[in-house]
Structure 1
């Protein structure tokens, strides 16, 4: 999981003397220790935590090279969702039925959501990562790309270590998450739970502990029980495409008036929803309800979260989506060139990385409106040529 929670939520004071990113490694460790001591971590625990600390260049390579997210939704989802995974999800739902029943009753988080992320994060606990997570967190906290995220996580890991809940040689993901649903240290501090009743929170070895912890996290973020999160819909060709996008919710009843209809059943007309077209107006279409926005705090990639959200509906009985016949996707290099052109026109697209992220989608749609093209936020060769 990749939640970005406020530092105060985990019971840690905001640092009063955060070091500039990069710089001398020994000085970084000394200042991190000083911050930890200021939050109540005993000096001997901080020393043990930092005793084997080293920078891990392979972590930075992973952080810079997340090329998998350049894939479009259809390509990505077909890569991650197989019939074998659907069948395994059904089998594991039965094996852990009591835990899922408890979660659904007490927290209102449906089993489909947890099964989907359990599958994608670690292949149902089978592939939890083999990075030294302590060194991964310290490396990313020292690095200049996202120190505001990873420095508090490193401090939280030190706090967990002082509580006897974090082994310094623990193995996990390159970004510092551990366990079957991949939780960061601050998440573990706030939401780590004993799901199997043995008195221990074991997120790596106990599926029930991991599932309950993940569910408590979603509930803590405001999951709304008995409400949908994502629903496949059909969309009329006459729709004003500029109304679409995750950042433009309106009441589902308004979407119904505009001709948007569920592929199965009816839409939740009493809820707000955003119309999401991951491959533009000719591809799949989904209504994203308020619960969907919480899932984006699990992972910032819309393609990843949309795939997980869809897989959760599939686990709960939804059909395979209609892929449609979308316009061809741009290559990674073409996307980078498009992002450069958008940036030159004053749009904030974030990093020039060839990934169709949220800010790039907003910029694409704005330029489509300006140029009189169908404003469905899907970058095409026609848009690239026009720019």
Structure 2
């Protein structure tokens, strides 16, 4: 309970009851089995980067354009990338969860599968209450993710930003604050201005995949990063016979890794360092690829 007042503890803790549904949802998470075969990306892409989500994204883009433009100028995070994360996390604010966050986090900490994570988040949500965040605001997903951008409480405390100058980072009701907070998150994760997240390529039939295998041992999300080739410059990829599927190549000096999420003979993606910033938000190749592709579709 470090840094949490006794008054908050007395107000919140006695009312908490065990929520079995939250624990059931946590146990059903797919990352539970590290050896399960990885499915093809295409079915996920068709479901998550579909006409409805692209259409809603374009409508929202038109509506928020002046605001998004200002945030992009300040942070370098493209307007459409903020929107794509918003679209993926809560379907542009329509599905934010109705679980009581302290109750959900206490239940998950008690159950113990990921106790250190959820104990830390429970303390963080108590600190939010201490700071005067209102009761409605501590409602979120079953895993304690909050508001339009689905920030965990510790992320809220660190990275949520007030975008409209009223002194409160209201990621629940204010799209200005939510978009400013998403951009701040990506900036903090290392977003580079004026560099693409990645793009679709045709992979040459002659490619020697052993020659481009990465020898790096990732310190987190090993299953996600193990699917990426080693880093090479765009100039090197071009010399190997890769061709871009649409648009123009970025500069030859940009570094990129290759992923082939639908296997050999299908579309590949060359991914820059900004892709890693999206992975920081949610460490899943399917998530990050879909965010990038949705952003491109909303922009076009």
TM bucket, shorter chain? 0.7 to 0.9
Q: 1:238-387, aligned counterparts within 5 Å?
A: 238-242=206-210, 243=212, 245-246=227-228, 248-264=230-246, 265-317=248-300
Deviates more, 1:245-254 or 1:219-228: 245-254
Q: What is the CA-CA distance between 1:174 and the residue it aligns to?
A: 1.0
Q: What is the CA-CA distance between 1:168 and the residue it aligns to?
A: 7.7
User: Partner residue of 1:354?
Assistant: none
Q: Deviations over 1:231-284 (max 9, x none)?
A: 111110000123254252222221111111211211442111110100111222
Q: Please give the alpha-carbon distance, in whole angstroms, between the structure 1 residues aligned to 2:111 and 2:297.
A: 39
Cα RMSD over matched residues? 2.0
Q: What is the CA-CA distance between 1:141 and the residue it aligns to?
A: 2.2
Secondary structure at the counterpart of residue 273 of structure 1 = strand
In the alignment, structure 1 residue 122 sits paired with structure 2 residue 122? no
8 Å Cα contact 1:230/1:310 also seen in 2: no
Q: What is the CA-CA distance between 1:316 and the residue it aligns to?
A: 2.5
Q: 1:162-241, aligned counterparts within 5 Å?
A: 162-165=130-133, 167=135, 170-241=138-209
Q: Please give the alpha-carbon distance, in whole angstroms, between the structure 2 residues aligned to 1:137 and 1:254.
A: 47
Q: Please give the alpha-carbon distance, in whole angstroms, between the structure 1 residues aligned to 2:231 and 2:135.
A: 44
Q: What is the CA-CA distance between 1:49 and the residue it aligns to?
A: 2.5
Q: What is the CA-CA distance between 1:169 and the residue it aligns to?
A: 7.7
Q: Please give the alpha-carbon distance, in whole angstroms, between the structure 1 residues aligned to 2:179 and 2:112.
A: 33
Q: Please give the alpha-carbon distance, in whole angstroms, between the structure 2 residues aligned to 1:268 and 1:143.
A: 50
Gaps of 5+ in 1: 1-35, 318-387
8 Å Cα contact 1:241/1:281 also seen in 2: no
User: Partner residue of 1:98?
Assistant: 66
Q: Deviations over 1:174-207 (max 9, x none)?
A: 1111111101111111222222333332211111
User: Partner residue of 1:28?
Assistant: none
In the alignment, structure 1 residue 144 sits paired with structure 2 residue 126? no
Deviates more, 1:114-123 or 1:131-140: 131-140
Q: Please give the alpha-carbon distance, in whole angstroms, between the structure 1 residues aligned to 2:198 and 2:15.
A: 45
Bigger-Rg structure (1/2):
1
User: Partner residue of 2:10?
Assistant: 47
Q: Deviations over 1:106-130 (max 9, x none)?
A: 1011112111111111110011112
Q: What is the CA-CA distance between 1:170 and the residue it aligns to?
A: 2.9
8 Å Cα contact 2:203/2:265 also seen in 1: no
Structure scoring higher RCO (CA < 8 A, sep ≥ 6) equals 2
User: Partner residue of 2:216?
Assistant: none
8 Å Cα contact 1:278/1:285 also seen in 2: yes
TM-score, reference length from structure 1: 0.68
Q: Please give the alpha-carbon distance, in whole angstroms, between the structure 1 residues aligned to 2:176 and 2:21.
A: 31
TM-score, reference length from structure 2: 0.87
Alpha carbons of structure 1 residues 195 and 71: separation in structure 2 relative to 1, 3 Å: farther
Secondary structure at the counterpart of residue 304 of structure 1 = helix
Q: Please give the alpha-carbon distance, in whole angstroms, between the structure 2 residues aligned to 1:239 and 1:40.
A: 55
2:79 to 95, 111, 114: 111
Q: What is the CA-CA distance between 1:63 and the residue it aligns to?
A: 1.3
Alpha carbons of structure 1 residues 278 and 179: separation in structure 2 relative to 1, 3 Å: same
Gaps of 5+ in 2: 214-226
Q: 1:71-90, aligned counterparts within 5 Å?
A: 72-90=40-58
User: Partner residue of 1:380?
Assistant: none
User: Partner residue of 2:28?
Assistant: 65
